[in-house]
Amino acid sequence: KTDENGELLWLNVFPQNNVLVSGIDVIPMPGGGAMIAGSVKFDNIWLPCLIRIDANGNYLPAQIIGKVNFDQDHDCSLDPLEPPLANWVVSATGIDGFTSYATTDTLGN
């Protein structure tokens, strides 16, 4: 984080545990926090990622896990033969109005 004159106030490294992350863009958030858009290297594959930090540079962890499948019988339950929806963009909006985005893999994860 820098002040109005570009002087460094603090520097933090995200995330921990020997995971390689490359930040590409910083998006200011209400309250002085920010979103860092970039890539994370996981199992030797670069994947897109968003990291949210508060005004003090603290990492705000969040995780949403689930599957996206085509509900062929419209019963709102996952049936074994319903195909996964690959390469879909999924959004989730929190009570603070902040929206996160992710894409599904070939298995709908």
> By the 8 A CB rule, do 37 and 21 touch?
no
State the pLDDT confidence band at 84, using cuts at 50, 70 and 90: very high
Strands 45-53 and 89-93: unpaired
Give the pLDDT score at 85.
92
Phi-psi region of 55 (alpha: psi -120 to 50; beta: other; left: phi over 0): alpha
Give the pLDDT score at 86.
92
CA distance 12 to 59: 9
State the pLDDT confidence band at 96, using cuts at 50, 70 and 90: low
3-45 tens-digit pLDDT: 788 888 877 776 555 566 777 888 888 888 888 888 877 677 7
Q: Is the pLDDT of residue 83 over 90?
A: yes
pLDDT above 90 as % of the chain = 8
> By the 8 A CB rule, do 101 and 90 touch?
yes
pLDDT above 70 as % of the chain = 83
CA distance 85 to 54: 34
Name the DSSP letter for residue 98: -
Q: Please tell me which of 10-14, 80-84, 100-104 the model is most confident about, judged by mean pLDDT.
A: 80-84
Residue 81 vs residues 39, 72, 78, 86: alpha-carbon distances, Å:
33, 9, 9, 15
Computed over every residue of the chain, the mean pLDDT equals 79
C-alpha closest to that of 49 among 20, 77, 76, 75: 20
